[in-house]
Structure 1
Amino acid sequence: MTEIIMNEITYTTQKMAGSYAEGWHIWGWEVPIYLFLGGITAGIIIIAALMMLKKRGKDFPVSTNRVILWAPVFLSLGMGALFLDLTNKLNVLSFYMTFEMTSVMSWGSWILLIIYPVSILMILSTFREGYSELYVKISKKLETIMDGKVLKLLEYMISFSEKNRDVIAKTAIPSGIALGIYTGILLSAFNARPLWNSAILGPLFLVSGISTGAAFIILLSEKDERHFISGIDVKLIMTELFILVLYFIGQITGGASKSEAINIFLGGDLFTPVFWIFFVFAGLILPLFLDWQESRGIEIHPKLQPLLVLFGGVMLRIILVKAAFILRDTSIHKMLY
């Protein structure tokens, strides 16, 4: 059994590193979507946990009590997308039967295993306050099941979570940070892709994930909360731009292979306008400009800025994954011809 598990981890790692890669079909749309949904989940968990610790449920109900319900939903959708991309789907449980210190996938599997119970406990700790009407409806339906025993169990779990809300929130913050960083390290750990081989990708994906989480909260929020979270997102976008500059500096000065790889975003290739227009401009610069315009009293559609941030988060991951495989195919073509 151990040999089967290690073979699966080794095969998956080799596939990601390029040993069996033959083109873009190795990683389709599923992996970028998984990375995006993992990032937004991390962002939601971190922001919700911080708001819970600050006791802001009355002033900011969406970010404190309601948005956390989406965390396991997004994570499950992301896991579903990743499952579709797995070559050996029957061996998916093998990742949870051992822990391989040198395997990024092994680390990620266990991080995800922690995120689910943490997010569920967060939901339970805020459910009565955040979804009071839904809680009443569920309670009435559960009263008739097994003489109310199911309802008593639910109430016990909710009361336990409410009582330990701060402990849960303090556990959620490092868990969310680990998930956000993991979505970047999943790429950066593989030396066969010079475009990914940067320690900056972990922080970049973490900040991007928190920013997209904030953007999703803005979509669901009313005026005061929307304004407050928008202010946080502006700072996150500016931080993301700074980290992006560090990423480019690291690639340009990191040796011939990295310098050549980063030229796909600088040298007039098709990916140059795609990267700068659809990610940097549409996903970062334009949201900052719209926020500035709104601060000057110019009316901006409240959904436009967060939608652009979410779009930019998706494009970042699609472009980085796609570009790395295009670079590999180009390198092979040069060697052969």
Structure 2
Amino acid sequence: MQELTTTRHNLHIDPTMTVWGWEIPVYLFLGGLVAGMMIISGYFIFSQRYKKTNCVTYVLPIISIVLLSIGMFSLFLDLEHKLYVWRLYTTFRITSPMSWGAWILILVYPVIVANLLMDPPKFIANKFPQLQKVKDYIHQRPMLIKNIGVGNMLLGGMLGVYTGVLLSTMGSRPLWNSSMLWVLFLVSGLSTAAAFVHMIAANVEERELLAKADNGFLTIELFVLALLIIGLSTSSAVHISAAKLLVSGIFAPAFWVFVVGLGVVIPLIIQLNAVNHKIKHTPIAPILVIIGGLILRFIIVQAGQYSHYLNAHFK
């Protein structure tokens, strides 16, 4: 199958090599989740919610670092020439999505660390007492804190967009070759992040806010999914065939049941009732959103591999 060349030094990342591979979907999911958490954390910092001692923005950086590192490791496992991965960082090609992605991932870490240093976890602060001086330095400079918030939102947005652009630039795969794919992955990342943070937030007001935000993201995600399918269905014959993979083809049952039904519609109904105080908040809806977001990546990656101009008769 066709490989996606990442640099001129024969470093390849090949999401089409193994039809049932898990590395790329997991990377895309974790990248989108971390992107969403960075945007949420940045918004809470910029809106000065960080002044509350139990603000979730102090918990998210360490989780983000762990999840993003796992995601990058899964991406590393998919590389064909693993020993040459360092070459991604010795050059920058403006026309290469992988080149952009590599440098975005590098820039993301310092921004997350800056957020972490605003209030380091106790197990880190106890080992490095000097971090208290760094914390005091940051909190004495409100403009620096706002810049950290803006940096998190900006880099988080770029990371979320990149996870979709990585696939959409592959014109040989009709299902991926859509301008709506990056929008879908960004919104889905925000939705899964809002759901996850809703479950771990200690502040009741923040949980309520995140549930309402997730309802908005889920609603937007439904529209984006519809636009993705409509866009493919009104294009060339091969794109129409690609759309049918999700609508009525072999991937349709999983798409409609696990992504649309269990991943969007049912959680949306539950959370709408919860925010309107008709039922109590429950972790069921956020868990369904997170599982649906993961399955979405698996379906998009696998269905995209199945769709091919040389296999234009796929059903």
Q: TM-score, normalised by structure 2?
A: 0.89
Residue aligning to 1:237 = 218
Question: Where does residue 165 of structure 2 map in the other structure?
Answer: 185
Q: Could you report, residue by residue, the CA deviation over 1:72-106 in whole angstroms, capped at 9, with x for unpaired residues?
A: 11110100111111111001111000011221111
Counterpart in the other structure of 2:67: 74
User: What is the aligned partner in structure 1 of residue 274 from structure 2?
Assistant: 294
Specify the code of the residue in structure 1 equivalent to 2:43.
Answer: L
- Provide Cα deviations, 1:235-261, integer angstroms capped at 9, x if missing partner: 111111111111111111121111111
Structure in which a larger fraction of residues adopt helix: 1
Which residue, 98, 105, 125 being the options, matches 2:98?
105
Deviations 1:269-313 (A, max 9, x none): 231111000001111001111113324544456211110110111
Contact kept, 8 Å, 1:290 with 1:300, in 2: the verdict is no
The answer to whether the aligner puts 1:247 opposite 2:228 as a matched pair is yes
SS of 1:196 mapped into structure 2: coil
In structure 2, the residue matched to 1:158 is 135
Runs of 4+ in 1 over 6 A off after TM superposition: none
Tell me which residue corresponds to 2:3.
Answer: none
Asked whether the equivalents of residues 32 and 317 of structure 1 are also in contact (C-alpha less than 8 Å), the reply is yes
Which residue identity does 1:8 align to in structure 2? N
The aligned amino acid for 2:212 is G
Structure 2 runs not aligned, ≥5 long: 1-5
Spell out the pairing of 1:37-116 with structure 2 (5 A cutoff): 37-57=30-50, 61-116=54-109
- Aligned residue for 1:24, secondary structure, equals coil
Q: Offset of 1:159 from its aligned partner?
A: 3.3
Q: How many angstroms apart in 2 are the aligned matches of 1:141 and 1:182?
A: 36
Match of 2:205 among 209, 214, 224: 224
- Paired AA for residue 36 in structure 2: G
- Tell me whether 1:320 sits opposite 2:297 in the alignment: no
| Aligned counterpart in structure 1 of residue 285 of structure 2, from 284, 289, 305 | 305
Q: 1:266 to 1:138 in 2, by over 3 A?
A: closer
* Correspondence for 1:24 among 19, 35, 38: 19
Q: Distance in 1 between matches of 2:119 and 2:95?
A: 37
Provide the residue aligned with 2:188 in structure 1: 208
Q: Give, in angstroms, the shift of residue 126 of structure 1.
A: 3.3
Contact 1:62 1:220 in 2 (8 A): no
Tell me which structure has the larger Cα radius of gyration: 1
Of the three residues 157, 175, 179, the one matched with 1:199 is: 179
Match of residue 7 from structure 1? 9
Give the distance between the partners of 1:170 and 1:5, measured in 2 at CA: 31
- Over the aligned positions, Cα root-mean-square deviation in angstroms equals 2.3
CA distance in 1, matches of 2:127, 2:179: 51
Assess, with a 3 A threshold, how the Cα gap between structure 1 residues 63 and 141 changes in structure 2: closer, same or farther.
closer
Report how far residue 208 of structure 1 moved: 0.8
Contact 1:45–1:119 (CA under 8 A) maintained in structure 2? yes
Is the 8 Å Cα contact of residues 121 and 161 (structure 1) preserved in structure 2? no
* Conserved? CA contact 1:47–1:63, under 8 Å: no
The CA deviation at 1:332 is 8.1
Same amino acid, percent of matched pairs: 36
CA distance 1:333–1:252, change in 2 (3 Å): closer
- In the TM superposition, residue 158 of structure 1 has moved relative to its aligned partner by 2.7
Residue in 1 aligned with 2:237?
256
Q: Which amino acid in structure 2 is aligned with residue 245 of structure 1?
A: A
Q: Is the 8 A contact 2:232 2:240 kept in 1?
A: yes
Aligned equivalents of 2:167, 2:35: Cα separation in 1: 17
How many angstroms apart in 2 are the aligned matches of 1:5 and 1:324?
Answer: 22
The answer to whether the 8 Å contact 1:283/1:308 transfers is yes
Q: Deviations over 1:198-242 (max 9, x none)?
A: 011111111111111111101102433222210011011111111
Between the aligned partners of 2:189 and 2:170, the Cα distance in structure 1 is: 21
Q: Please, which of 97, 121, 145 is the counterpart of residue 114 of structure 2? A: 121
CA contact (8 A) 1:122 1:161 kept: no
* Separation of aligned partners in 2, 1:274 and 1:139: 45
1:282 is aligned to 262
What is the DSSP-based 3-state SS (H/G/I as helix, E as strand, rest coil) of the residue aligned with 2:113?
Answer: helix
